[in-house]
Structure 1
Amino acid sequence: MTAPSEPARAPRAPRLHYAWVVAAVALLVLLGSAGFRSTPGLMMDALNAEFGWSHATVASAVSVNLTLYGLTAPFAAALMDRFGVRLVVVCALLAISAGSGLTILMTQSWQLVLCWGVLVGLGSGSMAGAFATTVTGRWFTARQGLVTGVLTAAGAAGNLVFMPLLAWLVEGQGWRTAVVVVSLCATAVAVPVLLLMRERPSDLGLLPYGATEQPEVPKTEGSAILRSLRILREAAGSRSFWLLAASFAICGATTAGLVGTHFIPAAHDHGMPVTTAAGLLALVGVFDVVGTVASGWFTDRFDSRALLVTYYALRGVSLLVLPQLFAGSLEPPILAFIIFYGLDWVATVPPTIALCRREFGADAPVVFGWVLACHQIGAAVVASLAGLSRDRFGDYDLAWYGAGGLCAVAVVLCLALGRGTPAAAVPAAVPAPAAPADAEPQVTPRAVTPAD
């Protein structure tokens, strides 16, 4: 008598879900892009000494960079849907490499605007928050808030890695050496993107991490630009969009626009060496990593609106007291500010992304791209205004007090957002019901649970 044959088994999934590999590559890209954007603030005094360019002139290049960084984000999200994440990110890294490298040839301020403002702005904008939103949305069902927090924290960690090195290069070897290092690093980061980045879990026969069924892939036919504009038109009819956009514009104004651009020259005005000030700004990155990852964890469990109200209120208080804390050397009060402010630096991103997902569903990456555009426009405006204030009054005090007042406005805007269901952690995948005994065995993608 012939022994009955064993039923066919589904292929065993690897212990490490490939989503974590994709997240690691995204983390590397975002680490680098943060470091690339931080360089103009380090070069401000060096360019002033060599070319005689004022703080406002150099800040104008930063403003262009920040504006394009924001305006590129929603189109980049649509381009990633249309042409693939890998192609868009590699082109963005090469644009950063070209823009940074070409600055060694500049002799006029408009060339700084073209290279660092336009090319680096377009490149870094293509790897902005919409990139992190796209990666987490495609590859993760469980742990979305936590992974978003980790990827967002990569911006702070990038400052931690690059700021001290670039400050040392600017001080010891000259600003041209620093920009060449940035150019080479941008090219090097493109290599793991080419080798390891994949578009969707289905390309590898997998489900998103923690999913029980394959999600529907949105249609991407037609112009990516028109799709981005269509989504903007639809989102603009929502009150929530404008509240999120306005509050996030204040977030950009009080972080990248003011502190990220002007903290180093402001500290230098009080006698602090540039390398010491750069080290403090890098230290902000250390605590921002902790704060942003924690914010992602909180976002999976608590009301995102309440989190934003708390973050903006605490940030406003810290900025109001900052002018009294500057000194020519490291003192406990300025270190306390760095720790307190660092924990809050970009903690706003995970709950803002969660609110975009809650309100706009599958279009959330593009919608968040437009919200991020407002973030960067706010940063650009304040970067220029703070530079003009410094040239006019001889210090940054007015800029710090004004930023504290803006945070109070952000608190009011977030309170006006409708209360929604807290973003609860996604449960582990539930096993599918057993098939009838006489059913044909089928091989299907295996859902990987958070336990993997």
Structure 2
Amino acid sequence: MSATAAASRRQWPLVVALGITQVVSWGSMYYAFSLLMQPLGAHIGASRAVTVGAFSVALMVCGLLSSPVGALIDRYGGRWVMTCGSAAAAALLAALAFVQTPLHLYLVWAGIGVAMAATLYDPAFAVLVRSFRDGHRRAITGVTLFGGFASTVFWPLTQVLMDRHGWQAALWTLALINLLVCVPLHVWAVPADTRRAAAPEGAAPEQRSALGAILRDPSFYWLCAAFTGNALVFSAVSVHFIPVLQGQGLSIAQAAWVGALIGPMQVLGRILEFTFLARAPASRVGAIAMWLLPASLYLLFAADAKIGGLLLFAALYGAGNGIMTIVRGSVPAELYGREVYGAVNGAMATPVLIAKAAGPTVAALVLLAFAGTGSLVLFLAGVATASAALFSLTSSRAGRPTITVGTMGERSER
């Protein structure tokens, strides 16, 4: 066994630790909101729109901070970034139980957005790319396999806590889980920064030069646009899923049954990527995943309540969504190298997270402008098609400006 392979094997406990913390972070700060939204809004006398707006603010703050947080990890490592993020998540989730006004609600959720930026997938991916000289893509896939169970674990857990002890006690429990699980795991498992100490003098200016070259490359922004359109469509469909299927002639129960297949299909998509597509370039896998989204939506439009077509829609849609999480984490390293991965990945994540926050509102406006959910499905399919075409056209040309002294060495290792 080579020294590099042995080092990577020793680093796999990091994958398990980050996988566990991703389940907790996503489950407590993202998925639990859908259950806590109603009692939280009722407590402060706020409408559903106002309450959801606070969550959207958190996503936007997270997006805006993704690149600065990634740059911090590039320079100092991820141990204290992620540890402080989990500690802040614990404090802010506990504070959420005490909000009294919409202003308090928005301030706390803005703070949770900061904690999200320091703990969710993007900082975890930056840590993995720094830690795994080879095999970081498989490590990313491993962490996302854990993350796929966040809703499976935390939706029923949060509901049980609310039913037995009330929504405020549920929040305190979620805060305690972050404090007792995520904080120690990040301290123990996330490595201290070893690269910076070993880097030659002048490495930091070279990194800034490489990052500047990437940010001056037009294809970088076209790739960002492709990822952003894809994320907007997924976000819009996830929120309006039940009404769209009802528009296709299904009952609420039938729509929920079809929707229940999407989660397992996401996990299955990640398993397929891990087992059969791991040797393919991430950009090629990304093109496949990108095209699965419009294909699934056109199929949904044409299914007309036929159960076979709807099941195939759920399979394609779920698998594409599951694989896209891996692609989003792997493509920046493949195209632009590892030295400035955190900043580059964070810069790509900024419009993606903002699109996730805006997607449901955009879909609602389309529904207002055009009668019928069929028009919404066609609109989203059109956006998804444009995003897939843009990704396919630009991914093969992206990354050329980054061939510098630092990144040439990185590319030769891959």
Q: If the length of structure 2 is used for normalisation, what is the TM-score?
A: 0.77
Count of residues in correspondence between the two structures: 388
8 Å contact from structure 1 (residues 292, 346) kept in 2: yes
- Cα deviation for residue 392 of structure 1 reads 8.9
For residues 353 and 149 of structure 1, what CA distance do their matches in structure 2 show?
A: 9
91, 97, 105: which is aligned to 1:104? Answer: 97
For residues 22 and 233 of structure 2, what CA distance do their matches in structure 1 show?
A: 21
386, 389, 396: which is aligned to 1:412? Answer: 389
Worse overlay, 28-37 or 346-355: 346-355
For residues 111 and 265 of structure 1, what CA distance do their matches in structure 2 show?
A: 32
1:116-195 aligned within 5 A: 116=109, 118-170=110-162, 174-188=166-180, 189-195=182-188
Letter in 2 for 1:284: I
8 Å contact from structure 1 (residues 166, 178) kept in 2: yes
8 Å contact from structure 1 (residues 133, 353) kept in 2: yes
- Structure-2 residue corresponding to 1:7: none
205, 213, 216: which is aligned to 1:237? Answer: 216
- Structure-1 residue corresponding to 2:289: 311
350, 356, 379: which is aligned to 1:402? Answer: 379
8 Å contact from structure 2 (residues 43, 100) kept in 1: no
8 Å contact from structure 1 (residues 98, 119) kept in 2: no
For residues 110 and 271 of structure 1, what CA distance do their matches in structure 2 show?
A: 38
- Cα deviation for residue 19 of structure 1 reads 0.5
217, 228, 231: which is aligned to 1:252? Answer: 231
- Structure-1 residue corresponding to 2:317: 341
1:178-327 aligned within 5 A: 178-188=170-180, 189-199=182-192, 217=199, 233-255=212-234, 257-261=235-239, 263=241, 272=252, 284-296=262-274, 300-320=278-298
Deviations 1:233-283 (CA, angstroms, capped at 9, x unpaired): 43221132112211111232123x33455557888998748xx95x97675
| Structure (1/2) with the larger helix percentage | 2
Distance 1:334 1:418, change over 3 A: closer
8 Å contact from structure 1 (residues 73, 128) kept in 2: no
- Structure-2 residue corresponding to 1:359: 335
Which structure has the larger Rg? 1
8 Å contact from structure 2 (residues 73, 342) kept in 1: no
For residue 60 of structure 1, give the secondary structure of its aligned residue in structure 2.
Answer: helix
- Cα deviation for residue 151 of structure 1 reads 1.8
Q: If the length of structure 1 is used for normalisation, what is the TM-score?
A: 0.71
> What RMSD in Å do the two structures reach over aligned CA positions?
4.1
Deviations 1:174-228 (CA, angstroms, capped at 9, x unpaired): 543432332122112212222333225789xxxxxxxxxxx96477998xxx999
Deviations 1:36-94 (CA, angstroms, capped at 9, x unpaired): 21122333455566666444323322221221222222211222233431111111012
8 Å contact from structure 1 (residues 46, 175) kept in 2: yes
Distance 1:415 1:394, change over 3 A: closer
Percent of residue pairs identical: 22
For residues 389 and 172 of structure 1, what CA distance do their matches in structure 2 show?
A: 40
- Cα deviation for residue 122 of structure 1 reads 1.0
Letter in 1 for 2:265: F
For residues 398 and 108 of structure 1, what CA distance do their matches in structure 2 show?
A: 38
- Cα deviation for residue 336 of structure 1 reads 5.3
Stretches of structure 2 that go unaligned for 5 or more consecutive residues are: 399-414
For residues 220 and 24 of structure 1, what CA distance do their matches in structure 2 show?
A: 35
Deviations 1:397-423 (CA, angstroms, capped at 9, x unpaired): 6654433221111111112215379xx
For residue 95 of structure 1, give the secondary structure of its aligned residue in structure 2.
Answer: helix
Deviations 1:96-138 (CA, angstroms, capped at 9, x unpaired): 122222222223333332222x122111111234323323222
8 Å contact from structure 1 (residues 60, 384) kept in 2: no
For residue 153 of structure 1, give the secondary structure of its aligned residue in structure 2.
Answer: helix
For residues 336 and 172 of structure 1, what CA distance do their matches in structure 2 show?
A: 39
Stretches of structure 1 that go unaligned for 5 or more consecutive residues are: 1-10, 204-214, 422-452
- Structure-1 residue corresponding to 2:52: 59
